[in-house]
Amino acid sequence: MAFENLIIEKKGNVAILTINRPKALNALNTLTLKEMQKAIFMLGDDPDVAVIILTGAGEKAFVAGADISEMKDFDVNQAISFSMEGHRTMDAFSHIEKVVIAAVNGYALGGGCEIALACDFIYASQNARFGLPEVTLGIFPGFGGTQRLPRLIGKGKAKELIFTGEMITAQQALELGIVNKIFPSENLMEESLKTASKIASNGQVGIRMAKRVIDAGFDVSLSEGSFFESKAWGLVFGTYDQKEGMNAFLEKRKPVYKGK
């Protein structure tokens, strides 16, 4: 499938999904949001893809935000529709069973920060900058920022960043727990690929189940989450990958997983 604003490249069983609007600092317009939904569903259905890396084209920005030139004249109903389109895109990334790593180089602001937060975790370059500056435009985050950021770093810290519109460095994002690791710009994709390849080499059934249980249990009680875990853990024992992984361990050989 051909995309106007996206590039998909495969390296083994890792797919690199690049938002390709560098002249607009990869800003998210309606077309890009719809294309991202199609791309993530397509990659989700691709049996040859185990892990996805999301990044932005160019050296200046991962995604500098939603496209202000498109939304500046929205009326109320158009704004609601645009926000819902953004949420559909974020949900596509957060709900896909495969692991999605955000490789953030440069600005991840507004919708860019929100799409990174919808991924499973974030690697950043030293020059990455994060922020939800919507209040400086007279609005507030509308693609999930008010919901995902507090769950990640706590309500107080999230309110401070959202209310001030402050932009923070990669190091500050690391200290807050937004970012997992920081690398020099020239090493960001290489290091992201290393981690993606390591994840892809493991049993994908177990990874899918782990992701599902982590996400399902995050907003429920410990006892409910533990129940989800036990049920899912038991179901894995009915799969090929579980038998292969444990037999390979006992036979002192490398497992050959099939993702089923």
Catalytic positions are 114, 134
> Which residues lie below 8 Å from residue 223, measured CB to CB, with a gap of 6+?
none
Pairwise CA distance, residues 74 & 83, whole Å: 11
Spatial CB neighbours of 37, under 8 Å, sequence gap ≥ 6: 88, 89, 92
* Nearest one of 157, 85, 148, 88 to 122, comparing CA atoms: 148
**With contact defined as beta carbons under 8 Å apart, do 218 and 224 qualify?**
no
In angstroms, rounded to a whole number, what is the distance separating the alpha carbons of residues 125 and 118?
18
